[in-house]
């Protein structure tokens, strides 16, 4: 189909701690949407599975080694710069100390999230959490 951009596959880690909080990280300077908050992850390399990409990306970005990966949902998002297929996976276990290897910030959040601005591709995930947790109201600041 002409005009259709092939989507870029991205593995996204939704880390959830023992208190039910989830981890958001900021996009580093020099990247598109720098300063926006998102769930950590990154592009799949050729021949790489979603789980393998997630393990690699979270180690490269955050310095942690993750346990079991629980595929959750897939969302297709059209950004001005790219069309991305986001593979959201829940992760409940990890080891190692968090290191912000790309000078990004991190914040453990609950609904409604306090950090802003939130990356457009992150907004649907906040709504999924709201549905799962019976949360009513705005999930983030506009």
- The H or E element spanning position 56 is helix 50-62
CA distances from 103 to 61, 63, 107 (A): 9, 12, 13
Mean pLDDT over 8-26 rounds to 97
Which domain range does residue 70 map to?
8-133
pLDDT over threshold 80, residue 2: no
Residue 141 lies in a domain: no
65 within a domain of the structure (yes/no): yes
- Is 1 within a domain? no
What does the pLDDT read at residue 123? 92
Q: Is the pLDDT of residue 3 over 70?
A: no
DSSP state of 87: E
User: Do the domain assignments include residue 75?
Assistant: yes
The tens digit of pLDDT for each residue in 50-77 reads 999 999 999 999 999 999 999 999 999 9
**Residue 98 covered by a domain:** yes
Is pLDDT of 96 > 70? yes
> Residue 131, class by beta-carbon neighbours within 10 Å (0-12 exposed, 13-18 middle, 19+ buried)?
exposed
CATH of residue 48's domain is 3.90.79.10
pLDDT at 93: 98
Residue 22 in any domain: the answer is: yes
- 138, part of any domain: no
Query: For the residues 106-114, what does the mean pLDDT come to?
Result: 97
In a domain, 126, yes or no: yes
Domain count, the chain: 1
């Amino acid at each position: 189909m002409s005009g259709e951009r092939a989507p870029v596959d991205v593995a996204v880690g939704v880390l959830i701690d023992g208190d039910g909080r989830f981890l958001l990280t900021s996009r580093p300077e020099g990247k598109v949407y720098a300063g926006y908050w998102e769930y950590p992850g990154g592009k799949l390399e050729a021949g790489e599975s979603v789980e393998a990409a997630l393990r690699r990306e979270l180690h490269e970005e955050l310095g942690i080694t993750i346990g079991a990966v629980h595929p959750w949902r897939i969302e297709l998002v059209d950004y001005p710069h790219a069309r991305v297929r986001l593979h959201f996976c829940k992760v409940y276990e990890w080891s190692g100390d968090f290191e912000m290897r790309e000078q990004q910030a991190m914040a453990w959040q609950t609904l409604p999230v306090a950090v802003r601005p939130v990356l457009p591709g992150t907004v649907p995930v906040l709504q999924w959490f709201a549905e799962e947790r019976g949360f009513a109201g705005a999930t983030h600041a506009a």
